[in-house]
Amino acid sequence: MSLEERVMKELKEAMKAKDQARMRALRAIKSEIQLAKTEGSDKEVSETKEMQIIQRLIKQRKDSLEIYERENREDLAKKEREEIAVIEKFLPEQLSEEELKSEIKKIIDETGAESMKDMGKVMGIATKRLAGKADNKAISQVVREQLG
């Protein structure tokens, strides 16, 4: 079942349950998928593109959440947290910190990276290989630690 089909199924359930938070989050995913379909020449969105969409939606909400918390807008922060929880369900299981460090170590060994000069090379491979399994911010942080 594609991401779009899963989202539509969940959206129907959310509408029946009158769950506003789930409906907002699922409609956002649906909208992004539709947008991705119209901007490309193909009718289907690849699995990689789907993961990028989900990650981008989560990142946008986390950025907003950070701002709302800083401005003491708990009402808006609560909405963002609810949507993040719904959207994260569509990501594959996230790597633990130890698993992430292990994967980055393998990539560094494969590329022969030795210093921060090689960070771009490592990040390029890591972000593709770990797409959906780890946040790019976390990947970057681990790469910096291991190369620095």
Per-residue pLDDT tens digits for 40-61: 766 777 887 888 889 899 999 9
All domains of the chain in start order, with CATH: 3-88 (1.10.1510.10), 97-147 (1.10.10.410)
CB atoms within 10 A of CB 34: 12
Q: Which residue has the tokens 């990142």?
A: 59
**Residue 77 confidence (pLDDT):** 95
Q: 94 phi and psi, to 5 degrees?
A: -80, 145
Listed as ranges, residues in the chain with pLDDT below 50 are none
Q: Supply angle C-alpha 128, 55, 4, rounded to 5.
A: 100
What does the DSSP 8-state code read for residue 1? -
Q: What is the pLDDT of residue 1?
A: 77
What does the pLDDT read at residue 96? 87
CA distance 28 to 32: 6
Helices 3-17, 47-70: inter-axial angle, 10-degree rounding: 50
Return d(Cα 5, Cα 97) in angstroms, integer. Answer: 31
